[in-house]
Amino acid sequence: MNVQDKLTALRGLMQREGLAAYIVPSTDPHASEYMASHWTEVCWLTSFTGEAGTALVTHDKALLWTDSRYYLQAGIQLEGTTVSLMRESDIDCPKIEDWLIDNFKSQITNHKSQIIVGVNPEMWSVDGYKKLRDRLQEAGISLKSVDLIRPLWTDNRPAIPTHRFFEFDTRYAGESVHSKLGRIRAKLSAKHADAMVVSALDEIAWLLNIRGNDVEYNPVVISYLVLEQQKCTLFVLPEKVTREVSAYLRANDITVKGYEEVFAYLHNLTGTILYDGAKVNEALFEAISVMAKTINSQSPILVAKSHKNDIELAGIRRAMEKDAVALTRFFRWLESDDTRKQMAAGKVTEWDLMEQLHQYRLMGKSFIEESFGTIAGYQGNGAIVHYAATPETAAPVYPKGMLLLDSGGQYLDGTTDITRTVWLGGDIPEQAKRDYTYVLKGHLMLGHIRWPRGTRGNQIDALAKQYMWQAGITYGHGTGHGVGHFLGCHEGPQNIRTDMNPTVLEAGQICSDEPGIYRTGKWGIRTENLVAVTPVESTPQATTEDEWLCWETLTLCPYDTTLIDFSLLTDQERQWINDYHAEVYRRVSPLLSPDEAEWLKQKTHPLPLPQKEGSK
């Protein structure tokens, strides 16, 4: 079927169900950032392949909401269909619920018919479903739980992945399953809860010390979990469980049931059940027995997972060293005479850079895959924050201008994420130097602060923006996100951004530090390190008895000093750069060949510091 055939078939089911509209979001039942192709329903229905989009179908209209990252892509992919693009980042674009209310206003006012909107409850979190339902009910519109895509998408629908998963050894995890289960059960007891239902894949993987490859860039296992005080049940497709994993789960008193059996299990579960309404889907919630009491509360696993133990932190440091070796080899290759000749001839594209970096990472022991799709943005493409080149669309890269490279790796030891912006050749515009230096100054300032315990990420966000703000520049993305340990590159609950987040920054958490400046059509500049929260030793300057915290910089890769406007740097910032580069060389050079180590030595050569008055 083409798009129009699918819309016609969907409208037929809508009429049978008495629906005036049907909403299809770009989500899966596990609130995943990345999802298996089995759940790419928006793509199937509309042909739009972007990661963020929501389709709305009425009996005479079809609309797709997406943000500014995907306007160009959506415009191309929707061409020739009857699906209209709704540019949700535009100030005059209505929200879906507001559009529905306005569209059906006359029918509601004149009581012509009951307006019912349908959604698949598996694709909506409990909180998201309630918010939509309440908003529509205020206007006299009802919300109905019904899956209309499953009966339509029968041909060539990818199956739910059946890849076998494996035990994540305690020598990497740093804590046994028995210990983790005990800690979380204690948290449930404190909430007076008898059980907890878990749908977030990274939380299940962390709690049970298992990993898989069901979702691209994320070593997780598609499953559900119900944790009780005396039982722990994993709901997963049986073909995914090997004999070794089965023995491992039995040894830890974990029962295995079929993936879809979770609904019947919840229906028969009594007592008080805790769930995280931001993650657990509405279908699971609706399956819970009416005899049970429920508590909607942030998952205690989410918080526990964010605090890395000493073994995890040690592993992440090892992963950073391996990643640093790959990055050193890549940037050395990028500067080589042969590569520059190939670039000058137009024979090197952004995709080629991505492939080359992947090959260098593959050489690292315990490397599994990238932690996200590498962003290699040359010149103006670097200004597209979530730019994604393909073999067909990748731009040629020449030995001049700006390159933004945002990449990361999944190692058994840990997860990495780094962005470096480099100049490939030619005269550097003064504006480019100023932009790069403003970004670097904010990055350095954020990375070197200390704060009293109880501080939140939004309280320090402005530190990374202060210099560019004074120049009338800002950026729209977050300054920092949490990072998992051989799990999701983006994890919560901690972050650094302007939005109010009640989560405080605490020892063991990992964040990114990544301010940026983006000039449409010219360049994008972003500098990113991963940093870990660590306690500060007592200092005589402290005026309170509060516990103080700071960052440990984990990433090991030099900055491009050719892009720095040194007139904008303070002596302290020069020293920070020198200290960091010295640490990069100390940690990474022993892992390189002599030629590679010499290249790194040149890249980490100390910046000159102004001589003190009276010195020679």
* Domain match, 189 and 335 both: no
CATH number of the structural domain spanning residue 291: 3.40.350.10
* Domain match, 186 and 251 both: yes
Evaluate whether residue 599 is within a structural domain: yes
**DSSP 3-state of 392:** coil
* Domain match, 459 and 557 both: yes
Q: Mind listing the pLDDT tens digit for each residue in 114-169? A: 899 999 999 999 999 999 999 999 999 999 999 999 999 999 999 999 999 999 99
- Identify the domain boundary among 268, 300, 332: 300
Evaluate whether residue 407 is within a structural domain: yes
Evaluate whether residue 150 is within a structural domain: no
- pLDDT of the residue at 616: 41
* Domain match, 528 and 379 both: yes
- Identify the domain boundary among 250, 278, 300: 300
CATH number of the structural domain spanning residue 469: 3.90.230.10
Structural domain containing residue 470: 310-603
* Domain match, 496 and 558 both: yes
* Domain match, 401 and 454 both: yes
Which are the contacts of 360, defined by CB distance < 8 A and separation ≥ 6?
A: 325, 326, 327, 329, 330, 333
Residue 270: CB atoms within 10 A of its CB come to 12
Whether the Cβ atoms of residue 552 and residue 531 lie closer than 8 Å to each other: yes
* Domain match, 362 and 438 both: yes
- pLDDT of the residue at 365: 92
* Domain match, 259 and 316 both: no
Evaluate whether residue 160 is within a structural domain: no
- pLDDT of the residue at 479: 96
* Domain match, 481 and 386 both: yes
Evaluate whether residue 192 is within a structural domain: yes
* Domain match, 227 and 353 both: no
Residue 99: CB atoms within 10 A of its CB come to 18
- Identify the domain boundary among 110, 145, 180: 145
Q: How many domains does the chain have?
A: 3
The secondary structure of 553-589 as a DSSP string is E-------GGG--GGG--HHHHHHHHHHHHHHHHHHG
* Domain match, 274 and 320 both: no
Alpha-carbon distance of 427 to 429, in angstroms, equals 6
Q: Which residues pair with 370 in a beta bridge?
A: 409
Evaluate whether residue 264 is within a structural domain: yes
- pLDDT of the residue at 615: 44
pTM of the model: 0.93
Q: Which two tokens stand for residue 556?
A: 């090991």
Evaluate whether residue 157 is within a structural domain: no
Taking 50 as the pLDDT cut, the residues of the chain under it are 614-616
Evaluate whether residue 486 is within a structural domain: yes
- pLDDT of the residue at 247: 98
- pLDDT of the residue at 612: 61
- pLDDT of the residue at 539: 63
Closest CA to 509 of 470, 474, 480: 480
**DSSP 3-state of 367:** strand
- pLDDT of the residue at 540: 61
* Domain match, 265 and 411 both: no
Residue carrying the six token digits 């909506």: 124
